[in-house]
Chain A
Amino acid sequence: MFPLSPILSPKGQGGGLRILTHVLALSPLAVLAWDFARGDLGANPIREVQFRTGKYTLVLLVLTLSCTPLSMLPGLKWVARFRRSLGLYAFAYAGLHFLNFIGLDYGFNLRLLREDIFEKRYAFVGLAAFLSLLPLAVTSGSGWARRLGKKREQLHRLIYLAAILTIVHFAWQDKAKTVEPLVYGGVVAGLLLVRVVGWVRRAARGTGSQTSSKEP
């Protein structure tokens, strides 16, 4: 076991993995900061920051979404424990993406921002994706989990909307209409399908009793 794990995760189990998750999720940011400091982001660094943070957000969203379906597999139940931190990292990169857009790129120029967010469908959808992640990040703590109970689980299904909006945003900003957004779209559709099948089954099983409240 990783020596630090008892500090970060009192129960010990999986502490090393937790650290690994943080390291892996933060390493692209470290590389980005390093490249930025060295002037290695090409001739249009603000654009490069925008592309990278966007890509990291999407990858982290897909990883977050794959936690629950993976945890349904025999012996992989513990994967679900990584969902929250991955989701928060996705939100963090989305936040950087948003701040880079309004701050570094547009210099908080409200006139230009209004025009470009409301006249450009890709930007509008991107903002909608970010805003739909916001309540999930706010209610991610255990305090909110207790307060909202079952409702929180339903609220957090918004992440599928956020992922779909993110992919639409990605596709609409793609000048060359490449297949990449479609690939992400296919993966998210597959993950959503797994969940929908789960919900339908549970609903069919639960028609007699109203008691089952746990995720399968």
Chain B
Amino acid sequence: MDKIRSSEITPEHIYLGRRQFLVGAGALTASLVFLGGCRRLSELAPTPEADFCGSATAGATSDELGDPLSACDAATHYNNFYEFSLEKDDVAELARGFKTSPWTVQVGGLVNKPKTFDVDDLRRNFPPEERVYRMRCVEAWSVVVPWLGFPLAKLLKEVEPTSKAKYVRFESLHDPKQMPGQKDRSFQWPYIEGLRLDEAMHDLTLLATGMYGKPMPPQNGAPIRLVVPWKYGFKNIKSIVKIDLVEEMPTSLWTAFAPQEYGFYANVNPDVSHPRWSQSSERRLGERARRETIPFNGYAEKVARLYEGMDLRTSY
């Protein structure tokens, strides 16, 4: 075996230094991965959406139970809108510039007078009124929002549902170019939701075109969305393009995704537990302590009769 000349032996300080470099590099990589969750550092610059809340108005300061309105910033920057992102804090940014005009809603199916409505016409024909509703997400958080909209019943009466119509099926826009989240194939796009006809005709059921005194911001479902305050938030389908009266119970996107977790009715019900989130308590955005969740989200007096004789533990 050849002798190794002493000049070829790496001096100890270099060789130790190299080890240190390797660990340093490894640690640095790990820390970058580690800090990946801290996106907010890059988001300190003010965004144009601040203007939305800057000029937000509302006729009321609380709901009928005396709960104060949620901060506009919370309601417009914590959004479940998977068409844009799985991250609630990212939706507002990603939905900026979403094209909402011109926009039409095609209403058809089992009706005598199918019709395609322009959203601007809807706003003219059915003047928006302010409704302050609690919205309780299935993820155990809630907000109190001053919506602007009109009862869905007004629109349905105009198209005259036939006697065969039992359910209303809603469909969101499908446009993966504008809605990057729709490239995620784990969900069956477009978003579908449904109501029983009597639920849809209930006076509380709203088609909302605005909030906080202003036209609906993209991240909250512009230009037109559903608001059914006694049901979990996912029933409130956003950016609606199609409404059909149908005979069979529609299958919603979430029910198709996980039928044991998300039922058709999805009435707010502290007695039906969910495998992931508390349904007996919730956190109102902006509050520290949890609140008890109320059956039908506090609207039992007005809607419980719709479900007389039904077992809401099995029809969840």
Q: Which A positions have Cβ atoms within 8 angstroms of B?
A: 13-14, 16-17, 20-21, 24, 27-28, 31, 35, 40-44, 46-47, 51-52, 55-56, 59, 63, 75, 78-79, 82, 104-107, 109, 112, 115-116, 119-122, 172-173, 175-178
Contact = CB atoms under 8 A, between A and B. Distances in A.
B40 A40 contact: yes
Contacts of B89: 42-43
Contact of A42 (B78, B139, B275): B78
A119 B88 CA distance: 26
Nearest to A31: B38
Contacts of B289: 107
Interface of B: 16, 19-20, 23-24, 27-28, 30-31, 33-35, 37-38, 40-41, 44, 71, 73-74, 77-78, 82, 86, 88-89, 139, 141, 186, 273-278, 280-281, 283, 285-286, 288-290
Contacts of A104: 288
B278 A112 contact: yes
For A20, A42, A55, A104, the residue with the greatest tally of chain B CB atoms inside 10 Å of its CB is A42
Given A55-B37, A75-B19, A42 B77 contact: yes
B186 A27 contact: no
B255 to A, nearest CB: 14
A24 B82 contact: no
A121 B275 contact: yes
Contact of B290 (A41, A51, A109): A109
A28 B33 CA distance: 11
Contacts of B276: 120, 122, 172-173, 175
A75 B28 CA distance: 20
A21 B27 contact: yes
A112 B78 contact: no
Nearest to A112: B281
A107 B290 contact: yes
B281 to A, nearest CB: 5
A19 B78 CA distance: 38
Contact of A17 (B23, B31, B141, B286): B23
Contacts of A35: 38, 40
A175 B74 CA distance: 21
Contact of B273 (A21, A40, A79, A119): A119
25 contacts: A13-B16, A17-B23, A20-B24, A21-B27, A28-B34, A28-B37, A28-B38, A31-B35, A35-B40, A43-B73, A44-B285, A51-B37, A59-B30, A59-B33, A63-B30, A79-B23, A104-B288, A105-B283, A115-B280, A116-B278, A120-B274, A120-B275, A120-B277, A172-B275, A175-B139
